[in-house]
Copies of this chain bind each other. A is one copy, B any other.
Amino acid sequence: MNQKFTIAVHGGAGTILRSQLTPEMEQQYKKALEEALDEGFQILQKGGSALDAVEKAVISLENCPLFNAGKGSVFNSSGQNECDASIMDGKTLAAGAVCAVKNIKNPISLARAIMEKSEHVMMNGVGAYDFAEENKIEIVPDDYFFTQHRFDQWLEARGTGVVKLDHNIHTEGKKFGTVGAVAIDSEGNLAAATSTGGMTNKKFGRVGDTPIIGAGTYAENGICAVSCTGHGEYFIKAVTAYDIAAQMKYKNSSLNEAANHTVMRTLVDIGGEGGIIAIDKNGNAVLCFNSDGMYRGVKSSDGTFFTAIYENEV
C-alpha cells in the first residue's frame, strides 16, 4: 500500500500582524502558497519523488516577487541580490547548498545540481556561478531581481545604515524572508529545500542558516524533513533542523514534541525568532513558529489542504 504523501511550504516568518496586512495582500500571499503546494503536490500525486516536489514548490516561491528568495530577493549593502539555498534528499542523505551566488534565477536548482553533478555539497560566490554556467543552470541579468518594494526597503535601510531582515513595507516589524518546502512521497522518501535572498542591506558577505545543512535544512528517511525560516544566526547556533531530527532519533520524541522543544524552548531561550515546517515518516506535518506569524501551508493525500499566515489561524 502506498503511504500518505504530503507537502508543506513556508514563505517566511516574523512579525506579521493582521492589522498590517490588507485582505488583498493576504489573498495574494495565500494564492502564492497554494500554487507552490499544488505544483509540488501534483508531482507527488503522479508518483514522483519528494525531492522533485520540494524543488518544484521552492521554484514556484522563488519565482514569486512576494517572497524574499529568487526574484523577490532583497538588496545587499552594495545594491545587489545575493542568494543562498540548500536541498537534502532523505533517501540518500545527499545534499547540495549554495551561498552568496548572484544572477541565478532559481538558486534551489543550482543547489540540486551541486548535489547531483558535483562531488561537493556546498559552493560559494563566483565559483558557484561558474559551476552554474557549466551546468546550464538558468542565469538572469541583475534587473530580473529588481522589484520596487525591495528597492524601497533597501533605500530606507541604506539611509539608516541598518542591516534588516526582510522588513516588509506592509508591516512595521521584523519578517524573516525565506522560502522552503518539505515533502514525503508515496514511497516514504523525505526531502527538504530552503532558499533566501538574505537580509536587506547585508554587509560583509553574511551567510545565514538557509544554506547550512543541519541548521536551515535537513532530511533523513525514517526520521523527518525540516526547513527553517528565522533569524539565521540563532538557527545556526541551535543547529535547528538537525536538533529536531536528533530528538526523534535519540530520544524517540514525536515530530511534534521535537519541533516544539527546539522552536518554543531552545530557540526562545537564546532569543532566536522564527519557525520551521517539518514532515515525519508517516506523512504528518508540523508547522511551528515562535514569531507572530509564518506564511505556510500543507497539502496531503489524506485531503488536508490549507494555507495560513497568523497564529492560531488553523
Residues of chain A whose beta carbon lies under 8 Å from any beta carbon of chain B: 88, 93-95, 99-100, 118-128, 130-131, 163, 203-208, 212-215, 218, 232-233, 236-239, 242-243, 246-247, 249-251, 253, 270
Contact = CB atoms under 8 A, between A and B. Distances in A.
A241 to B, nearest CB: 9
A208 B122 CA distance: 7
Contacts of A122: 206-208, 212, 236
Contacts of A247: 246, 250
A29 to B, nearest CB: 28
30 contacts: A88-B237, A93-B237, A93-B238, A94-B237, A95-B237, A100-B124, A100-B125, A100-B127, A119-B233, A120-B207, A120-B233, A121-B236, A121-B237, A123-B204, A123-B207, A124-B124, A124-B125, A124-B205, A127-B205, A131-B204, A131-B205, A212-B212, A212-B213, A212-B214, A214-B215, A214-B236, A218-B239, A242-B242, A242-B246, A246-B250
Contact of A239 (B126, B163, B239): B239
Contact of A236 (B130, B205, B213, B233): B213
A103 to B, nearest CB: 15
A205 to B, nearest CB: 2
A236 B213 CA distance: 7
Contacts of A208: 122
Given A212-B213, A215-B213, A242-B214, A124 B237 contact: no
Given A215-B213, A236-B213, A243-B242, A99 B120 contact: no
Nearest to A242: B239
B95 A127 contact: no
A240 to B, nearest CB: 9
Given A93-B237, A213-B215, A120 B243 contact: no
Contacts of A246: 242-243, 246-247, 249-250
Contacts of A232: 121
A121 B243 contact: no
Q: A121, A205, A206, A237: which has the most chain B beta carbons within 10 Å?
A: A205
* Closest 5 pairs between A and B when the two form their complex, measured CB to CB: A127-B205, A246-B246, A214-B239, A250-B250, A127-B204
Contacts of A212: 122, 212-214
Contacts of A123: 204-207
